[in-house]
Structure 1
């Protein structure tokens, strides 16, 4: 079975990826804007403080500078500037670490002497890091909440559809009641779909019932006149006034009448359910049945250089209605005879498969195989007997598998697999 992608997972994954990308884009934009604003703020604050000091350039910084976490260093007055600050170029520098603290620095350089104003922003940075961590955690929580809500809401959409699909798997056309249970918690759309499917199933059930009734009625109505014809032909064949010239024609009519009786029997059986049909099943040994079927069809080979070879030497038992099995195999054997001119038709068993291998005639093996396949697909019943259509119907009814396999320059194999049966 082909593994198909899960739509719910794809939608959920796509939404999470979209939310993460959107969060990263918004967060990155906020970070850039924040950094620019922060730079402008520090520049404004430090410039104001420097202007304050420049009011009296000869005066020392106020004694309260350290308490305000603001430090002023002036090489013109012989102040020793820390190496971490002294190596900085002219301008504003953010997040400069010194003695386990974080500073924002304003460096003014003139005549190879530097003036440095340092503002301790350690507490501000700690607060900023906490806010960043809180924002990340809040974002992750928001993504999880969005994913959870989306998953639950999609479940309300998909779960009813999956339950409907499960119910459809359990429904069999042979059951008396074909209906999907309407779920009480379904939304409007799911309810509409369920109702529409139930309407369709009811129409299908009605159609199937009509088909069964037609099969039964047609079989019963036709059986009586055909039985009358069959009985009359038997009387005529045994009548002393019947000439030898009429004998072959009457025998042909008798044979065709018997085939019609088989066809009516099969139609009547197929109109029944599997449970009812099981009453007609019996244990059948193909090793005993195949010789009888070969003998019954031997007359079709008289006008051809054709022989039928039975290679079944071991017992192969299965359980099925005898008439169904006989007509199925007979149809395949008749087709093999009709599509061959001369040679040998081999009948043998391979695992759980009955194989009828014909030599073919005038056509390549591929052409014959294509012909069989095309007939089966188009439901063509031009062949005598019940035709491929009813043969396929029997196979579908019992889970048997019918297929055709071409053999290079050796005709065609008709392979009937009795799946699930033990030989």
Structure 2
């Protein structure tokens, strides 16, 4: 994962590196130019002085030789043996030589040699002190680079605080809005600059988001009212019809199916409204919901799907468990899990097992692939052999309800035989 730094930290580091790099580049350029100019001037001066001494010896043979710049010596081909051995074979030009004096100190010299008309002029110039000065200059420049780098860091800290102060103020106001739960206009508190434009854009986004939330809230209220009212009418009418003494068994069974469907629709509407509001609500008066009882009701409501199938379903309660959630939410989750098991199992047995902290739905259907187990809870994904019915939303709704209440839902294939196991683990 790529490391993420604060904007202020990046600004400070960038400014400090820029100042340090620019100072170092300037120092290197200054040292290089100084060295080149110095070498050029020294070499040129030495050669001019050696040429002058040679010309003086040619024009005035008896006069003592000398130098306008430094002390040196002028020899002829016959007296060249008087020069140091290391000088004798040097050609015309400026040469770097290193010699040790009587005190044992090593010196760096520039030796100018000029040969013409049988006369050889030697002019030696001690550059040891210049090198010492150059070394001192180098230390001074390095110190200046670090000093300017430190100043750049301090300036970067000050500028970053100054530049990012409006951004920090904008973030602080946004955090205050989140704490207070009330959005106020941001743009009036900032200047007409880039931060002001950002604040204005956030105000516009907040207005659109507030309008969207308000429309969603109104839609939820309308759905809650407009759908629950006809469902309540259907439920009450069905209950009255079931009390009629002249009903046949066939009509009575159909009324029971209508009543179960109406109850399922009411439970589903309540669960979807909770999801849309991201609202976690427990049962009334602090009561808990018995998982086994809800599972039994769901099984009875799903029995019509088992018609014309050599299929049986049973509820096994190994250990009872209660959850702090409305019965409607648990019923929606179990209806999808048990309904899927009945839908995909053509023959055999569907077992709903309640034990400890979970409930499991075990079927003898075709099973699922291990790699598809998690994918089935994605929106719009349907299992193999689903046929033409369904939109692949049931298990996705179950996953969202479980996330809302802190439960865990999973699917896995059976290891010993065909079939699948759907597990709902309660926290």
Give TM-score, length-normalised by structure 2: 0.72
Residues 51/3 of structure 1: CA separation in 2 closer, same or farther (3 Å cut)? closer
Partner of 1:42: 42
Q: Do structure 1's residue 128 and structure 2's residue 134 form an aligned pair?
A: yes
The answer to whether the 8 Å contact 1:216/1:268 transfers is no
Task: For 1:6-405, list aligned pairs within 5 A.
Answer: 6=5, 33-54=33-54, 55-56=56-57, 58-61=62-65, 70-74=70-74, 76=76, 81=83, 90-94=92-96, 96=98, 98-99=100-101, 100=105, 101-108=107-114, 115-146=121-152, 149-150=155-156, 153=159, 176-177=181-182, 188-267=193-272, 269-270=274-275, 274=279, 277=281, 280=284, 282-284=287-289, 286=291, 289-308=294-313, 310=315, 313-347=318-352, 354-361=359-366, 373-375=378-380, 383=390, 387-388=394-395, 390-400=397-407, 402=409, 404-405=411-412
The answer to whether the 8 Å contact 1:365/1:412 transfers is no
1:355-390: CA deviation from partner (whole Å, max 9, x where unpaired): 43444449877678766535269xxxx649994564
Deviation of 1:117 after TM superposition, in Å, equals 0.9
Residues 184/197 of structure 1: CA separation in 2 closer, same or farther (3 Å cut)? closer
Aligned-partner Cα distance in 1 for 2:169–2:32: 50
1:292-324: CA deviation from partner (whole Å, max 9, x where unpaired): 544553453354333445566345554323332
Aligned-partner Cα distance in 2 for 1:125–1:385: 84
Q: Secondary structure at the match of 2:380?
A: helix
The answer to whether the 8 Å contact 2:365/2:418 transfers is yes
Aligned-partner Cα distance in 2 for 1:198–1:406: 51
1:71-115: CA deviation from partner (whole Å, max 9, x where unpaired): 313454578555776686652134746444443221346899964
Alignment RMSD (CA, Å): 4.9
The answer to whether the 8 Å contact 2:111/2:124 transfers is yes
1:312-367: CA deviation from partner (whole Å, max 9, x where unpaired): 63455543233322322222222222232223335458997654344444987767
1:179-206: CA deviation from partner (whole Å, max 9, x where unpaired): 6978968883233223323432343233
Q: Secondary structure at the match of 1:375?
A: coil
The answer to whether the 8 Å contact 1:215/1:267 transfers is no
Aligned-partner Cα distance in 2 for 1:59–1:210: 114
Aligned-partner Cα distance in 2 for 1:180–1:4: 34
The answer to whether the 8 Å contact 1:324/1:394 transfers is yes
Deviation of 1:46 after TM superposition, in Å, equals 1.1
Aligned-partner Cα distance in 1 for 2:240–2:329: 28
Could you tell me which runs of 5 or more consecutive residues in structure 2 were left unpaired when the two chains were aligned. Answer: 383-388
Deviation of 1:400 after TM superposition, in Å, equals 4.3
Count of aligned residue pairs for this structure pair: 409
